[in-house]
Amino acid sequence: MLRKRRSAVAAKRHPRAQLFAALGDQTRLSLVARLCAGQPYSISQLTRRSKLTRQAITKHLRVLERAGIVHSVRTGRESRFQFDPQPMEELKHYLDFVSQQWDHALSRLKSFVED
- Number of Cβ atoms within 10 Å of the Cβ of 113: 7
CA angle 88/44/37 to nearest 5° reads: 35
Strand, coil or helix: what is 57?
Answer: helix
Interface with other proteins includes 64 (CB under 8 A)? no
Interface with other proteins includes 11 (CB under 8 A)? yes
CA dist 15 and 21 (Å) reads 10
3-state helix, strand, coil in the chain (%, to 5): 70, 10, 20
Strand, coil or helix: what is 77?
Answer: coil
Q: Contacts with other proteins in 75-94 (CB under 8 A)? A: 88, 90-94
Please say which residue, 29 or 43, places its beta carbon nearer to other proteins: 29
Please say which residue, 73 or 95, places its beta carbon nearer to other proteins: 95
Interface with other proteins includes 24 (CB under 8 A)? yes
Please say which residue, 82 or 100, places its beta carbon nearer to other proteins: 100
Interface with other proteins includes 38 (CB under 8 A)? no
Interface with other proteins includes 29 (CB under 8 A)? yes
What is the CA 21 to chain-centroid distance, rounded?
A: 10
Residues that bind other proteins (CB under 8 A): 4, 8, 11-12, 14-17, 19-21, 23-24, 29, 88, 90-99, 101-115
